[in-house]
């Protein structure tokens, strides 16, 4: 079979379209995989510990206001014993799980992502150990 220039041009064009379609489909798949991997490997709820997960969260999101000689609400959260105390009293869990629009939500000045909230809840459900 003998191709004219026009035939060859059309052949390349149709292949280009298939090629672009391929790229679009594949980038869609890759994105899905990355999302799945992210939620599965980045939010590990099986091995939540005070020292690795919880203390850094409390230091970053709570200690700023709940420390020093006149802490917010007279509530210290600057070390394990006082955090555990707040957990046992119930306020800690109630405040971090308030809806984002609730002015009583803690922290009031930032938003914990769902992985952070899940880790805090898992740690509390485990009995808030100092591990």
How many whole angstroms separate alpha carbon 20 and alpha carbon 12?
12
CB 117 within 8 A of CB 97: yes
What's the closest the beta carbon of residue 103 comes to ligand HEC, in angstroms?
7
How many whole angstroms separate alpha carbon 106 and alpha carbon 22?
46
Site size for ligand HEC (CB under 6 A):
19
What's the closest the beta carbon of residue 123 comes to ligand HEC, in angstroms?
12
Site string for ligand HEC, 92-121 (x = CB under 6 A): x--xx-------x-xxxx------------
What's the closest the beta carbon of residue 91 comes to ligand HEC, in angstroms?
3
DSSP string, 2-20: ---HHHHHHHHHHHHHHHH
Residues 3-32 contacting ligand HEC, CB under 6 A: none
């Amino acid at each position: 079979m003998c191709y004219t220039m026009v035939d060859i041009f059309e052949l390349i064009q149709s292949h280009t379209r298939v090629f672009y379609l391929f790229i679009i489909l594949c980038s869609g798949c890759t994105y899905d995989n990355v999302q799945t991997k992210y939620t599965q490997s980045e939010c590990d709820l099986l091995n939540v510990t005070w020292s690795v997960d919880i203390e850094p969260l409390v230091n970053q999101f709570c200690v700023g206001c709940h420390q020093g000689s006149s802490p917010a609400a007279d509530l210290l959260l600057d070390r394990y014993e006082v955090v555990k105390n707040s957990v046992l009293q119930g306020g800690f869990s109630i405040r971090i799980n308030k809806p984002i629009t609730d002015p009583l939500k803690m922290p009031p000045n930032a938003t914990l992502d769902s992985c952070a909230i899940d880790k805090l809840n898992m740690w509390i459900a485990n009995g808030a150990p100092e591990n």
